[in-house]
Structure 1
Amino acid sequence: MRTVPLLTALCGLALSVPAHAASVWAGAWGYAPADSDAREPEQPPGTYRYRVRLTQAGDALQLSFSNAEGDRPLAIATVGIADPSAATGTEIGANPLRPLTFSGQSGIALPEGHTVVSDPLAAPFRVGQDVIVSVTFTTPTRPARTNLGLEMAFAPAGAEPLFTPIKVRSYLSLASVRAKRAPCTVVAFGDSITDGFLGLSPQTRGWPGRLAERLAALPSARRCGVVNMGISGNRVLRRGRATSALDRFWRDVASVPNVTHVIFLEGINDIGAGKDSGPEATAPDQLVQGYRQFVARAHALGIRVIGGTMTPALHAGYMSPAKERTRQAVNAAIRTGAIFDDVVDFDAAVRDPASPADLRPDYDPGDHLHPNDAGLRAMGDAVDLSALRPAN
């Protein structure tokens, strides 16, 4: 089937979108905000480009930009989207860059702790379509470090901007589309393993990216969008990297339009960052209580939560035999089915049969904690798609 480039489709369409009672907004891509600090390099005023793969189809697009964990107020001058000029990378070639606005204006202030949402842009968008999002800041930025796979570039302000690849956390936090029907939207919620920290594939970002590929192959009535809200270093019970999972539920789950399911994989950082014993150790019942608190928040909004077992990490730098016993105890509690609405056994998908406390050797990139691309794909394949069936 011949596809129409985004910018060709945009020609003649209005940039403002009237309300459509029969349509819904649904999350199509996500990147949860995380904190940066003085150790991160400052970038001068300039333009970021992000390559985004949409997981929902629709007839309009809306973007959110977040400074929720930033260390300074920012100012956005312009935002635009374009078709990429190649199968990979952030180049747009001769493709036109079409502007998005904020309450009708081209720019907007982005204070510390705040998120801003663009006006909708009317155009047809496809499942699996890549778009280049370009955002220009008139202020210096200090973006946080990020995983390896997401494609992005930066160019300092100047007469002839020169874009070079950069690996920092995106200020773009959510892309949503307006659809006549969006059966379900899945938020993949967790830490670095959900974030895809050591995944090298820009086309398939972590296990949520593989899950999105599988869902995209289903008939439209069964197809869910996937929004990745993993943060490397995040914890369930207390602040680690970014605010705790319990506190960021409202920011990174409840804010996603049409969210129907959450796949929750988190807790290894709580265990690893604690002590082996004593009051500074994380006990299994503490994590289980945290999980139940998360589920209570989701159920209050009618969202189903699928709990993922924590993946093997015995020989990771911050683990120990005592902490491994905690991981095993928590996983056993998850597998009972008494905490979450459903369970995905990520542990079983990537563990070494000969040494179940460790990753399979072919899934271990060397740090004994983060699965490589092959391991992340195995995790994405472990999700039972029937658990994501729309409610109606």
Structure 2
Amino acid sequence: MSVTYREPGRRQALATLMAALVAIVTAVVATATPAGAHPGGRWTATWSTANIASFPDFFGTPNWSGGFDDQSVRQPIRVSQGGSALRIRVSNVFGTGPLRLTGASVGRAGDGADVRPGSLRTVTFDGRRSTVVPAGRELASDPVALRVAPLERLTVTLYFARSTGPVTFHLMSMATAYRASGDHLVDRSGAAFGETSQSWYLLSGVDVIGAAPKHDRGTVVAFGDSITDGAFSTPDTDNRYPDELAERLVAAGRRLAVVNAGIGGNRVLADADGFGERATARFQRDALDQPGVRSVIVLEGINDIGLLGGQPVTTAQLIEGHRALIRAAHDRGVRVIGATILPFKGVAYPGYFTEEGERIRDEVNHWIRTGGEYDAVVDLDRALADPADPDYLRAEYDGGDGLHPNDAGMRAMAEAVDLDVL
């Protein structure tokens, strides 16, 4: 039997009812779906950052990690691969109490703090605009219906109506974040965002539902210290080596995403305030727990050798630290690639380079190359060394301190990676 509704009011009522039913079904499906899954496939991390505990005054340079109070923070980021929908992840891993997030939005990034017209979307958590992230936890949002292209720039805005206290953050973003007083979640214009910072706050990841075949999908995690983090690359240009690697993969038609798990000053064997947990402690969270992780490139050890606020290490201790990372990856069925440690003779920091440290670097690099314990090797040492004296960084790759590569050096690092080993 068919029924024809002749009155406009009844047609409108039926349309409203059907829309409400669709919304209810969508919310139920989203709530019932496991955190790592989605009715349209599996989540894949397309952008991420490794976070540390609040450190509001980093050796004389202030930041906003002391917290927010009736403030909006807008953070542009660039994804590596695209998808038909996205979600964001908010981290309170290093928080000392519950984090009350009043609201969040996401859109395509325009100039500065602007959002491109027609792209702004409200972000929800279990169907609600506000949420509470428990201390020590990370929370993923509901799916957001915004199609994302490879290498597209997005902007995520978070609003906190009440004081957050000290917040989890990433110190050295090499990208500009923006802050405004009050609620500016739905502002397309960035005019209200008059304050800037070179750190990321509370945002830990963006994931997508990929359209690629299952065998041609996943995430490569670049895990390391300030070199992986992109120190001395040009801010706001996405020239870090993981960004350059993502560009190579897109150009080659590969559907692998790349995320950056570098932390400035990070060490394999020791924690340090402002430099994050040691690699062996954070590897699970920052690398292996990334949605869709397929392989990890490990570039770590120079800060252990350079005695950055720590105790002297031996070659055997540093190798055993690397072995712990290899075992953890293999236990999860993840491929792990060892990157040799870059040259550092002539480094600008007094006491950082020693002949003993150089001996340890050479011995660890020899083990990475010949030990057969990593699944593959990326020989960044040889790719960036000065041919006249391999203990030095090549001049054209030197960011200016004898340790960190510049933009050209970042490109050389990405080009040294054989895409087939990923």
Cα contact 1:54–1:130 (8 A) shared by 2: yes
The equivalent residue for 1:360 is 394
Structure 1 segment 226-265 matched on structure 2, within 5 A: 226-240=258-272, 241-265=275-299
Which structure 2 residues correspond to residues 157-176 of structure 1 after superposition, within 5 A? 157=182, 161-176=192-207
Residues 74 and 137 of structure 1 are in contact (CA less than 8 Å); yes or no, is this contact kept in structure 2?
A: no
Q: Is the 8 A contact 1:275 1:281 kept in 2?
A: no
Query: Counterpart in 2 of 1:216?
Result: 250
Moved more, 103-112 or 156-165: 156-165
Residues 261 and 96 of structure 1: is their aligned pair in 2 closer, same or farther, counting only changes over 3 Å?
A: closer
Q: Determine the C-alpha separation between the residues in 1 that align with 2:378 and 2:166.
A: 36
Q: Any conservation in 2 of the 1:337–1:343 contact (CA below 8 Å)?
A: no
- In structure 2, the partner of 1:152 is 177
Say if 2:78 and 2:238, in contact at 8 Å, map to a contact too.
no
Partner residue, 1:315: 346
Q: Report deviation, 1:251.
A: 0.9
Query: 1:188 aligned to 2:225?
Result: no
SS in 2 for 1:122: coil
Q: 1:322 to 1:216 in 2, by over 3 A?
A: same
Q: 1:97 deviation in Å?
A: 2.6
Q: Deviations over 1:96-152 (max 9, x none)?
A: 531111111111223442211111112322111111111112325556563362232
Question: Which residue in 2 is equivalent to 1:343?
Answer: 377
1:33 alignment partner in structure 2: 51
Paired residue secondary structure (2:245): helix
Helix, strand or coil at the partner of 1:228? strand
Q: Note if contact 2:113-2:193 (Cα within 8 Å) is conserved in structure 1.
A: no
Question: Residue 73 of structure 2 corresponds to which residue in structure 1?
Answer: 48
Aligned-pair CA distance for 1:77: 1.0
Inter-CA distance 148–171: structure 2 relative to 1 (3 Å threshold) = closer
Does residue 108 of structure 1 match 2:108?
no
Take 2:241 and 2:370, find their aligned partners in 1: how far apart are those partners? 23
Distance 1:292 1:201, change over 3 A: same
Aligned residues of 1:148 and 1:199 also touching (Cα < 8 A): no
In 1: Cα distance, 2:306 partner to 2:314 partner: 11
Distance 1:375 1:142 in 2: 35
1:122 to 142, 145, 148: 145
Go from structure 1 to structure 2 and tell me whether the alpha carbon gap of 1:257 and 1:158 turns closer, same or farther (over 3 Å shift). Answer: closer
Q: 1 CA distance for matches of 2:141 and 2:239?
A: 24
The answer on 1:304 being equivalent to 2:331 is no
Aligned counterpart, 2:109: 84
RMSD of the TM alignment (CA)? 2.5
Q: Secondary structure at the match of 2:145?
A: strand
Please state whether the residue corresponding to 1:216 is helix, strand or coil: helix
2:325 matched to 1:294? yes
Cα 1:381–1:315 shift into 2, 3 Å: same
Shift of 1:250: 1.7
Output the CA distance in 2 between the equivalents of 1:228 and 1:37. 21
Q: Which runs of 5+ in 2 are unaligned?
A: 1-21, 185-190
Residues 274 and 48 of structure 1: is their aligned pair in 2 closer, same or farther, counting only changes over 3 Å?
closer
Q: CA deviation at 1:72?
A: 5.8
Tell me the residue number matched to 2:208.
177
- Between the aligned partners of 2:183 and 2:45, the Cα distance in structure 1 is 34
Q: Any unmatched runs of 5+ in structure 1? A: 1-12
Provide the secondary structure at the position in 2 that maps to 1:260.
strand
**What is the letter of the counterpart of residue 128 of structure 2?**
Q
> 2:56, 2:251 → 1: CA distance?
44
Seen in structure 2, the aligned counterparts of structure 1 residues 205 and 64 have a Cα distance that, compared at 3 Å, is: farther
Q: Is the 8 A contact 1:189 1:230 kept in 2?
A: yes
Distance 1:107 1:290, change over 3 A: same
Separation of aligned partners in 1, 2:119 and 2:80: 23
Shift of 1:297: 0.6
Q: Look up the match of 1:10.
A: none
Distance 1:102 1:198, change over 3 A: same
CA shift digits 1:311-339 (9 cap, x unpaired): 11123222211111111110111111522
Report the TM-score when normalising by structure 2: 0.81
- TM-score of the pair, normalised by structure 1: 0.87
User: What is the distance in 2 between the residues matched to 1:153 and 1:25?
Assistant: 28
C-alpha separation in 2, matches of 1:260 and 1:145 = 24
